[in-house]
Amino acid sequence: MYPFARKKYNIHMIDKINQLLAEIDSLKAGKAEEIEALRIKYLSKKGEVSALMNDFRNVAADQKREVGIRLNELKEKAQERINQLKESIENNQSSDDNIDLTRTAAPVELGTRHPISIVKKEICDILRKLGFSIAEGPEIEDDWHVFSALNFADDHPARDMQDTFFISRSPEILLRTHTSSVQTRVMEKQQPPIRIICPGRVYRNEAISYRAHCFFHQVEALYIDKNVSFADLKQALLFLAKELFGADTKIRLRPSYFPFTEPSAEMDISCNICGGKGCPFCKHTGWVEILGCGMVDPNVLENCGIDSKVYTGYALGMGVERITNLKYRVKDLRMFSENDKRFLEQFESAH
């Protein structure tokens, strides 16, 4: 080829490269088949870019560098654009795969916390202010941790089938009747000071009615250290009552009996409905019972490997359903476990 003809051919190649660059910049595709067709058109062995590469031998020697650079730029640009189109298609397909086609077109309503969860968390948060930390344990327990370690006599009524769910026909394995079993497990493994909260579900073989259920929830607390006194317990109880029911709440302690505490007491609060004046809710006494408490019996400490001559402690426990009834005036305990949406929606603003 004559030099003049070569120079003219070089100009024609540059123009062709520029034309293809403009085409490639504007390439579009909505399907994988369309992308493959574009790849074949431009990048296959018989494609337009490959054809220009084959004609590169006809370029004049003094123009090869410039034309070579433009050819490489064209090939890279074509490959990059094809890859971009592939990624776009794949991303769209991935998004489509994540769409739930069975989902309703109506707005999805946000759920709320269960009233039991709300109150349980509130109780735990209050006790945390006093330095307590949460401890948890198994719901399927053994006789030692539920009864024997807690000073229950062998003939105690709580061991009877009427009160306890036993498992696998064994008197040794049962569903825990109180979260005190968590306390015994902690005392066995940890030396004082101990300051724990034990929230959880418990089970008792009782007839289900508006005022009782075969399962319910408890929050118990245990504090063991040197020189712990009943005065410490009373101060903690007063703080708990005021935080739960208001600054004007009063408490009173009545002597009671529990196998694992001595002395033991039941705690009443001034009725938060009538303010202690007397109403049908408090049976016109002005007081409502909310929990049991007492100083940990020395036998319990010794059973768990803690020296009762060095350490003392107090324990308290309450039913979460009982507290929830007082706070929200729920008259039927069965409503807590029936999952009635109309009932649960009433607590949307309570969390």
Contact 158, 152 (CB under 8 A): yes
What is the number of residues in the chain?
Answer: 351
- Average pLDDT rounded to a whole number, residues 12-38: 79
Please tell me the number of Cα atoms within 13 Å of 267 on its side-chain side: 25
Give the model's pLDDT for residue 10. Answer: 61
Beta partners for 221?
197, 316
Question: Comparing 175 with 208, which gets the higher pLDDT?
Answer: 175
User: What's residue 11's pLDDT?
Assistant: 67
Of residues 277 and 298, more confidently modeled: 298
How far from 66 is each of 4, 13, 14, 231, 333, CA to CA, in Å?
18, 11, 9, 95, 87
Mean pLDDT, residues 199-207? 90
Model confidence at 267: pLDDT above 90: yes
β-bridge mates for residue 194, sequence order: 224
Which residues is 198 bridged to in the sheet?
Answer: 220
Q: Comparing 238 with 326, which gets the higher pLDDT?
A: 238
Q: Which helix (H) or strand (E) holds 21?
A: helix 3-25
Q: Does the pLDDT value for residue 199 go beyond 90?
A: yes
| Model confidence pLDDT, tens digit, residues 111-169 | 778 889 999 999 999 999 999 999 999 999 998 999 999 988 887 777 776 688 888 76
Tens of pLDDT, residues 87-106: 887 776 655 556 677 777 77
- Biggest CA-to-CA distance, the chain: 121
pLDDT value at 1 more than 50: no
Residue at token pair 């090869």: 64
pLDDT band (50, 70, 90) for residue 2? very low
Share the mean pLDDT of the chain.
Answer: 84
Rounded Cα distance between 227 and 229, Å, is 6
As a three-state string, the secondary structure of 202-256 is EECCCCCECCECCEEEEEEEEEEECCCCHHHHHHHHHHHHHHHHCCCCCEEEEEE
Residue 178 — pLDDT band, cuts 50, 70, 90?
very high
309 and 293 Cβ atoms separated by less than 8 Å? no
